[in-house]
Amino acid sequence: GAVVSQHPSWVICKSGTSVKIECRSLDFQATTMFWYRQFPKQSLMLMATSNEGSKATYEQGVEKDKFLINHASLTLSTLTVTSAHPEDSSFYICSASLRDGSSYEQYFGPGTRLTVT
């Protein structure tokens, strides 16, 4: 089956530093990847849609200068949280879309837990 990995699985950083999270589709090429954020006991909220080779599309209220997304290849997208603050502490999950003929499905990574101290 289609597998999506994320690295790191968890990270602790100091306020003001930047953190990069990688999302990889391991056994398929994904032209589109999505980044979500999940606060405790809440559902996933889409942050941005990332297409290979083009700029990401951010959802309303998401600061594009703070959450930098790079989708340099068909198997890798990165999310960089710049100048992180404690309120950025959250669970970040990526997904990668796979088109197979007429079907379309998103496959999710295991998530990255970010704690900003």
List contacts with another protein (CB under 8 A).
Answer: 6, 32, 34, 42-46, 49, 91, 93, 95, 97, 99, 103-111, 113
The least CB distance from residue 103 to another protein, in Å, is: 7
Q: Which is nearer to another protein, 55 or 83 (CB)?
A: 55
The least CB distance from residue 16 to another protein, in Å, is: 26
- Assign residue 83 a region: left if phi > 0, alpha if psi is -120 to 50, beta otherwise? left
Q: Which is nearer to another protein, 22 or 82 (CB)?
A: 22
DSSP state of 79: E
Is 3 in contact with 57 (CB distance < 8 Å)? no
Q: Which is nearer to another protein, 19 or 98 (CB)?
A: 98
The least CB distance from residue 83 to another protein, in Å, is: 26
- Assign residue 88 a region: left if phi > 0, alpha if psi is -120 to 50, beta otherwise? alpha
Is 13 in contact with 19 (CB distance < 8 Å)? yes
